[in-house]
Structure 1
């Protein structure tokens, strides 16, 4: 059974990232593609890691947190990784709630200032 591998260009297209981003993820050891000469190829393991990276970024996790979390699986297995994820998610949810409140407050103030200004125009 042969493994399906994605080229560098296919990987960029699949995840809608720039070549610079993909090279950076490799540089900080989030990804470890196979190399054949100057070409890079991504196995299913790397594609799965990239899916986790992209999901983590959408949730606001720092790349270093994602890197550490992925290393836990390699070093200690999935149970420890899952427990660590729960802790990370709880911390991130707290941060997102705080940001959400700040955004809500900023919107309320902007609405108030907009309404005051609109009233002055009348």
Structure 2
């Protein structure tokens, strides 16, 4: 999942940052990824992100930043947070990535099927709407011509 989202393994395994130079505030990530602070706290509550605390401040590591990028990519293509968490948790097992890759590949293939079915449904709905627009437009032209 990490490689497919444009994140290298090194970036995804950045670990917790030991200095402020490698850390991001909640505001930094919110601005960078155009999400709300509430969204980031929600992902933390769900166990998707694990910022460290310095007093009242949350400091996110490069690893958290990479995970957020993966979360948002997963959501964009239609995965649920539970599915995203499962894939991220598998990635954390560090089993040489074989298990994570098999699970992710299966989920990606399933999601492609879901999206293709949705696309077919959308295309069919658009065709029906275009036909309806043509019929209603013709009826409207007849009404307007008869009224003139």
**Shorter-chain TM-score: what band?**
over 0.9
User: Within the alignment, does 1:16 sit opposite 2:18 as a pair?
Assistant: no
Aligned to 1:27: 45
Over residues 46-66 of structure 1, what are the superposed CA-to-partner deviations in whole Å (9 max), with x where a residue is unaligned? 111111111111111111100
Structure 1 moving runs of 4+ over 3 Å: none
Q: Per chain length, whose mean CA-contact separation is higher, i.e. which structure has more relative contact order (CA < 8 Å, sep 6+)? A: 2
- 2: distance between equivalents of 1:86 and 1:68? 13
- 1: distance between equivalents of 2:32 and 2:112? 28
1:32, distance to aligned residue in structure 2 (A): 0.3
Aligned to 1:121: 140
Larger Rg: 2
- 2: distance between equivalents of 1:76 and 1:22? 25
- 1: distance between equivalents of 2:99 and 2:108? 14
- 2: distance between equivalents of 1:67 and 1:24? 13
Structure 2: state its 5+ residue gaps: 1-17, 142-148
Alignment equivalent of 1:61, drawn from 79, 82, 87: 79
User: Within the alignment, does 1:88 sit opposite 2:107 as a pair?
Assistant: yes
The normalised TM-score by structure 2 is 0.78
The normalised TM-score by structure 1 is 0.94
Over residues 75-115 of structure 1, what are the superposed CA-to-partner deviations in whole Å (9 max), with x where a residue is unaligned? 25322111111000011001001111111111111101100
CA RMSD between the two structures:
1.3
